[in-house]
Structure 1
């Protein structure tokens, strides 16, 4: 039996608290469900009652504000959704619920390969770059210094479109560069602190770059580059100021670390801030150049024999079936009851093979042709109240043309829409039918888009919820709420597409 008094509690008439998933000096974190958005999982962080005073309240609110603003700008920073105070006057904020392993756990499990090192490091740097570029507060651009970059504050989660997605966490002791500390007391984690941070000096982005250097060394070797005799503040102060880092090659003789990466890590670990890279952008450029060289060298080498695996051929009737279904779709004209304009609508299509879920879109002939080879992304959002409504997002992306958003809103009190969503859940895919403004009399192209298998049971749940939930307001109200969420999501989706 769960003894936590918060278990099951509904916060702010919206967030139903579950198990406590984290606890620290500053507060507690609970897993929760956002009832307003159909039970979407979130995490709620409360400020600890033992340190409840105006100074810590202000610090906690600043942390929430920093994460909220940065999370909107970078997919590699944990996103804060809401902030409030409960009935006992205890501040809390709500952030995205992330399931994954922190970098400390990953490195402890096994050393990183170079390709994985490059992928994770680049994403860490993109998150840091966003923070250092700053957020606008009261009309002023304020760079953010994290001050606690370490493996346990880097979360790696599985992502359906990216494979692995990095999130930089815990801006609890982050500082706006324009902000003055009330005291010069030490804040941070001893093993990852820059020499100037140990001294309590005013910091700039190069302090985070030093911590990043310690982190990168550990990612490649499994060990930190400096070791004191004891774990006292004085011992760590001594090694950060005077001890030279260990040799990467001696710790990982099996790994051919490129010289440029070795030099980069040692430059990040320079004792003087002026000897380190001046910005994370410089680090990203070096990483991308070396990653490009690594990919090119891999292309010129034949793959090892054990990696060449023959894929089973599909059954002939499956190929014919798919071809005939697409061929059937390409004979369809644009409906006469729809305007000939750049719009998108859904339709449960009856075909010789049975009913299939489809999305119809009309574009200019030129764009319809170009978009056929774009990257594809889909996402579903469900709002159970005030009226059951689903937002079905399809995005097409090309790095030169940018994104083409194809949002479709489904009123889930409609039996037709319930059947359509059920069909998507059962088939695990849908077809996108392209029509051109210039030639609406025939479908120009058909594209099959798969959805995540994990999404299918959730879609079925939403169908059932649509059948049973009672509407308490006009559908337009839910549609407007989903439009607002969509606008917030666009930058996150776009960042995923750019990284993939």
Structure 2
């Protein structure tokens, strides 16, 4: 029998807060250590636990660590591009920790280590970074006040790129450990914090900062993403060397061999302006510049139709609202996961053929505990149609739970295919669909079923869009899908706001 491995890590296999089973150390930095762990309360869901370093156990660092957890928790609820924090606490040795989602992927520094990005990949990743930064800059509600967040440490090692079944490559912004929560009437500390190679001239001086400082850091990172090099170099790597470089060194021109669009080079160098007033004044302005650079941008005839349902949320309790969809729970629970589909978190439409007709369904694979958590959720759906360069529908289903937040279930219907047209018409005709849930672990059989109705105005538009698409030209479906993903990101905050309001009204009604 082999001897078990010996570890000197005192936290190895500890049960933290009678809930989190620590598994192994996965990372460490100046602020502390990060462990992979299992949440025993939620059936062994994998999470990450970050501890404050024991060398930093003073009141100032404890407060900063708690603030990092608070900022990340609030921002993570607003944007999928910011790591989500779930819990905060102190262990038996009075060492603070917080629990966050466990993410597996590569840091942007690893992605660009050996080869710069193509323009198309650069645009895709940079726009996601901007979406997360825009959310932070707009701020969070803190102590009754909307407070903007300046990250102060935007750099490739703080950007994680993970694989997502719905979105492909998904960007997450990490490490809000030195982020500045900007409150009105509060004097900012006159000291430098950040990473010398990426900080703005005003940051290295310890001056008061706003979002334009992060835009400068992003400009350095954008240059590096496309060239594999830094735009400025100091005479030496000391603080004084970097101070001189950020204040007085002109960024190195980008090699013509890269064939970058002039508009893209101009945008990057604008971000690198030494004076904040000469940079893009907001991430929104920067995003507009990036969107104009999208390859194969459709002409002015492109049409985006966002169909807002007349019914905000659906609990599917009224059987009269779904007369064409039979009660088929027993039938659906016999379904098994298709062999040609990977066993991972994905969503796809599926037509179910029964004796009387074909019915629409959405097949979803999630972790088993997540499925259980969603069974009492408010259900909501919305459809977005883009006509050119390729007619396609974003079919968005959201399950919202007051304790677990939204679970987004997006999929796409290609309306230049006969199957996509048939499915859009089917949804319009039936006015309802089943959601079949399959567990990521264990059995291939359907575990739970929900029924969700479609508002009358959405039913009508689905039929019209399917008919209209027969007359439209097709081509470049991936461009349309990218555009729909951008619309998806724009819709998220408004949808969450609606669902929170519905949930609050329902909660008050039950309490009265």
Distance 1:499 1:245 in 2: 33
Distance 1:9 1:390 in 2: 26
Please state if 1:378 is matched with 2:364: yes
CA contact (8 A) 2:334 2:446 kept: no
Corresponding residue number in structure 1 for 2:195: 189
1:92-131 residue pairs with structure 2 within 5 A?
92-131=97-136
CA contact (8 A) 1:36 1:383 kept: no
Partner of 1:201: helix, strand, or coil? Answer: coil
1:406-445 residue pairs with structure 2 within 5 A?
none
Q: How many residues align?
A: 380
C-alpha displacement at 1:349, in angstroms? Answer: 2.1
Corresponding residue number in structure 2 for 1:349: 331
Please state if 1:209 is matched with 2:221: no
Distance 2:268 2:66 in 1: 34
Corresponding residue number in structure 1 for 2:280: 277
Please state if 1:288 is matched with 2:291: yes
CA contact (8 A) 2:188 2:208 kept: no
Partner of 1:227: helix, strand, or coil? Answer: coil
Cα distance change on mapping 1:406 and 1:243 into 2, 3 Å:
closer
Distance 1:396 1:20 in 2: 40
Rg (Cα) greater in structure: 1
Cα RMSD for the two superposed structures: 4.0
Deviations 1:205-246 (A, max 9, x none): 100000000000000000110011211111111110011111
Distance 1:77 1:71 in 2: 5
Deviations 1:246-292 (A, max 9, x none): 11135xx1x3211111111000000001110100000111111211x
Cα distance change on mapping 1:223 and 1:395 into 2, 3 Å:
farther
Ranges in structure 1 where 5+ consecutive residues have no aligned partner: 298-336, 359-370, 409-431, 467-493
1:181-260 residue pairs with structure 2 within 5 A?
183-250=189-256, 253=257, 255-260=258-263
CA contact (8 A) 1:217 1:224 kept: yes
Residue from 268, 273, 277 that aligns with 2:271: 268
Distance 2:94 2:426 in 1: 56
Corresponding residue number in structure 2 for 1:143: 148
Deviations 1:84-132 (A, max 9, x none): 1112111110001000000111101322111100000000000000000
CA contact (8 A) 2:363 2:435 kept: no
Distance 1:140 1:228 in 2: 40
Instruction: Provide the TM-score with structure 1 as the length reference.
Output: 0.67
1:264-343 residue pairs with structure 2 within 5 A?
264-291=267-294, 293-296=295-298, 339-341=319-321
Distance 2:268 2:326 in 1: 50
C-alpha displacement at 1:436, in angstroms? Answer: 9.0
Instruction: Provide the TM-score with structure 2 as the length reference.
Output: 0.66
Distance 1:32 1:182 in 2: 37
CA contact (8 A) 1:70 1:131 kept: yes
C-alpha displacement at 1:460, in angstroms? Answer: 6.0
Residue from 469, 473, 498 that aligns with 2:488: 498
Corresponding residue number in structure 1 for 2:94: 89
Cα distance change on mapping 1:235 and 1:79 into 2, 3 Å:
same
Cα distance change on mapping 1:210 and 1:407 into 2, 3 Å:
closer
Distance 2:446 2:20 in 1: 19
C-alpha displacement at 1:34, in angstroms? Answer: 1.0
Corresponding residue number in structure 2 for 1:398: 383
Corresponding residue number in structure 2 for 1:477: none
Corresponding residue number in structure 2 for 1:3: 8
Residue from 60, 83, 104 that aligns with 1:78: 83
C-alpha displacement at 1:457, in angstroms? Answer: 3.7
CA contact (8 A) 1:347 1:357 kept: no
Corresponding residue number in structure 1 for 2:503: none
Partner of 2:81: helix, strand, or coil? Answer: coil
Partner of 2:72: helix, strand, or coil? Answer: helix
Cα distance change on mapping 1:282 and 1:379 into 2, 3 Å:
farther
C-alpha displacement at 1:339, in angstroms? Answer: 3.6
Say which structure is richer in helix: 1
CA contact (8 A) 2:191 2:206 kept: yes
Higher deviation after alignment, 205-214 or 11-20: 11-20
Residue from 17, 27, 32 that aligns with 1:27: 32
Task: Name the structure, 1 or 2, with higher relative contact order (CA <8 Å, separation 6+).
Answer: 1
Distance 1:209 1:18 in 2: 38
Cα distance change on mapping 1:407 and 1:151 into 2, 3 Å:
closer
